[in-house]
Structure 1
Amino acid sequence: MSNLTLKKMINSYGMVLILILLFLSLSASIDGFFSARTVWSIIEQVSMFGIIAIGVTFIIITTGIDLSSGSVVALTAVVSASIVTGGDSVSAALVAFGASIVIGAALGAVNGGLTAIGSIPPFIATLGMMIIARGAAQLYSDGRPIDASSEAFTWIADVNFFGLPGLVLLYIIIVIGSHILLSRSTFGRHVYAVGGNLNAAKICGINTTKTLIWVYVLGGALSGLAGALLASRTYAGNPSYGLSWELDAIAAAVIGGVSLSGGLGTIPMCVIGALIIGTTNKGLNMLGVDPYWQQIIKGSIIIVAVLLDTLKRRKKS
């Protein structure tokens, strides 16, 4: 095997190797970590912010960013919980999920419009939306949790299909659908083109404004779905939900090789990045590491991932 081939393999699958080594090292340090139960627990936890990370991946590929996803989770969680409060009908549960997705998509459309039409930097546009959505969640719920213990609503979080948790199965379906959309559709090619070179994409006849808006709509819709799923899983909607989830989602995307300079990234590697974050969280919790130290460690991981991405781009240029 040539050095060039080995280098390409490391660049493409290096994070997979890191995930395996991380899991094995934690298994050697923690009794009972190496088990199917631990693996399913990690994947189930990852399924929450992992859904957001998929939307963030689309956005970052276009050289954008979304800081509002965690706040959208909080807002849609309390809205969905309020819809099913006091009832246990399937129709109410479906309305709750539908409303969450629509609200998330609408907020995403605002983000996309501000960015694509208003020419506001995505960092500023989504930072403003992050504050607005969090405030709206607090206002809507009066700052208190809202009960969501409707069996029809919590069914997706409680059900198992052949031993596979419902949330995990849904996450897998979203991963597969998103991968097909990004890698095998015209929309996906437009997303890569916009991120690779916006002016060149315009010259090629791509409606870049429409593409950017739809990317943020997709990100918002997935955040809204995550909010409803979180309320379903915890039997309540809480305005404090989703704190720092946007950072976990961005970290998962960047660790998975999505370039902040745009034009590069895949859904499968985003999943690997999310699993690295989830495995790290699980391991640190089982080791009894102080939550404040956990934040420092996760922040360091993000910085290292961005630094590696920057160094990789410098070498190519």
Structure 2
Amino acid sequence: MPTTPEVARANAFKRTVLAVGVQNLSLILAIAVLVVAIGSQNSAFFLTSNLKTIGTAVTISGLLALVQTVVIIMGGIDLAVGSIAGLASVTSAMIFTSAGSSASFFGALAIGAVCGLVSGCIVVFGRVTPMIATLAGLIAFKGVAQLVSNGRAQGYTGADPFYVFLARGSIIGIPTLIWVLVLMALLIHFVLRYTRVGRNIYAVGGNDTAARLSGININRYILGVFILAGTVAALAGILITARTGSGQPVSGSEGLEFQSITAAALGGVALRGGKGSIGGTILAVILLGVLLNGMSLLGVNPFWQNVAQGTLLVAAVIIQQLRNGERRVGLPK
């Protein structure tokens, strides 16, 4: 039976929905609604300078959301990424004052990797759940950052060409910060989607027992993923240093771990592991960026931003629970 034009269009629409994903389409629709609503109230929202502001503002939280996505897909969670970013920010500035920008960049990345390794070792060898292990890291790494800096901003990188390029440079008119986020997103997406390492990370998060029986070295993947999270968190800390011109032990990194979890959950990452995508997380990061920028443009009290993020996190988790058919806590089946 020949296919009518109406059926062909319906099939094409169905294929598009399946390819993009219902979750991603929902996020795209939400972003579109927000853009129209905010733009109708303040036309300055559509200025190129403001759109660049949104992009650069979400870079740091976006980097942490990317690695938080990987950690959660693996079946864990990392509450220490914000504190690692703060520690890396301080140490990058302190190393810069004595050894220059190259040493500060790679030194801070190394410190982030070590912090991630510490978290991974606590999980693997101490047999502590990732939430408790990284909650300890959140407190401890923040304490170390405050100890080495005496709780004050350190160094000054505002005149260094490398840090200036990171903070205020651009390539073909697009800010460097946005390029950093885009390239990291593409790299992690490629690894998760097209490599054996990525497939194994999904397998560990989906069913760790089955993954172990199939020959996957789970401990190695746990260590590797936490080292990745620490390294990228350190990169975010370096960007904090570049944007502020000095190392910040707390300012600029406070609350980033919860922003990263919110973005991952909104992006459709299953908090029990084994499911999620980088594309969904990036859309969620954009949604949060548009929302927070719009609230600022419209003069909304900044404290409401935390309320909005907390509400979105709860809403995302509730939607996941309903989709999975989970029993409501405290209610009969």
Q: Secondary structure at the match of 2:45?
A: coil
- Tell me, in whole angstroms, the C-alpha distance in 1 between the residues paired with 2:268 and 2:238: 28
Q: Distance in 2 between matches of 1:177 and 1:171?
A: 10
The one-letter code matched in structure 2 to 1:138 is Q
Largest Rg, 1 or 2? 2
Structure 2 letter corresponding to 1:70: G
Corresponding residue for 1:182?
192
User: What letter corresponds to residue 76 of structure 1 in structure 2?
Assistant: A
Once the 2 structures are TM-superposed, how far is the Cα of residue 23 of structure 1 from its aligned partner? 1.5
Give the Å deviation of 1:35. 2.7
Alpha-carbon deviation of 1:63? Answer: 1.6
Letter of the 1:257 partner, please give it.
G
Which of the numbers 23, 34, 41 marks the counterpart of 2:53?
41
Aligned partner of residue 236 in structure 1, secondary structure: coil
Pick which of 29-38 and 4-13 moved more: 4-13
Whether 2:227 is the aligned partner of 1:217: answer: yes
**Equivalent residue for 1:117?**
125
Q: Is residue 2:125 matched to residue 1:133?
A: no
SS at match of 2:58: helix
Shift of 1:284: 0.9
After TM superposition, the score normalised by the length of structure 2 is: 0.89
Q: How many Å separate the matches in 2 of 1:13 and 1:116? A: 37
Gapped regions of structure 2 (runs ≥ 5): 1-9, 327-333
Asked whether 1:273 is paired with 2:284, we answer yes
Give the counterpart of 1:146 among 151, 154, 159. 154
Identify the match of residue 163 of structure 1 among 173, 177, 182. 173
Partner residue, 2:331: none
- Partner in structure 1 of residue 209 of structure 2: 199
Alpha-carbon contact 1:84-1:153 (below 8 Å) kept: no
Which residue matches 2:94? Answer: 82
Aligned partner (choices 261, 269, 283) of residue 294 of structure 2: 283
Looking at structure 2, the residues matched to 253 and 75 of structure 1 have their Cα atoms a distance apart, in angstroms, of 23
DSSP-derived class of the 1:314 partner = coil
Letter in 2 for 1:62: M
Alpha-carbon distance in structure 1 between the residues aligned to 2:124 and 2:191? 21
Offset at residue 298 of structure 1 (A): 1.1
Are the equivalent residues in 1 in contact too, given 2:92–2:238 (CA < 8 A)? yes
Identity %: 32
Specify the code of the residue in structure 1 equivalent to 2:49.
R
Q: Which amino acid aligns with 2:129?
A: P
Q: Residue deviations 1:35-54, cap 9 Å, x none? A: 32222111111111111111
Per-residue displacement from partner, 1:292-315 (whole Å, max 9, x unpaired)?
222111110110011111111118
What corresponds to 1:19 in structure 2?
31
Q: Residues 45-76 of structure 1, C-alpha deviation per residue, up to 9 Å, x if partnerless?
A: 11111111111010000121111111111111
Asked if the contact 1:78/1:141 (under 8 Å) is kept, the reply is: yes
Shift in Å, 1:265: 0.7
CA contact (8 A) 1:148 1:232 kept: no
> How many equivalent residue pairs?
311
- Tell which deviates more after alignment, 96-105 or 144-153: 144-153
Name the amino acid aligned to 2:25.
Answer: Y
Amino acid of the residue matched to residue 108 of structure 1? G
CA distance in 2, matches of 1:296, 1:171: 26
Which 4+ stretches in 1 moved above 4 angstroms? 4-9
| CA–CA separation in structure 2 for the residues paired with 1:225 and 1:130 | 17
Q: Following TM superposition, by how much is the alpha carbon of 1:12 offset from its aligned partner in structure 2, in angstroms?
A: 4.3
CA RMSD of superposed structures (Å):
1.9
TM-score normalized by the length of structure 1: 0.93
Secondary structure of the residue that 1:147 maps to in structure 2? coil
Deviations 1:243-278 (A, max 9, x none): 000011111111111110111111111111111111
Q: 1:160–1:11: structure 2 CA closer, same or farther, 3 Å change rule? A: closer
Q: Is the 8 A contact 2:189 2:277 kept in 1?
A: yes
For residues 17 and 110 of structure 1, the distance between their equivalents in structure 2, rounded to whole angstroms, comes to 40
Aligned equivalents of 1:100 and 1:247: distance in 2? 22
SS of the counterpart of 1:216?
helix
Q: Is 1:69 equivalent to 2:87 in the alignment?
A: no
Structure 1: runs of 5+ lacking an equivalent: none
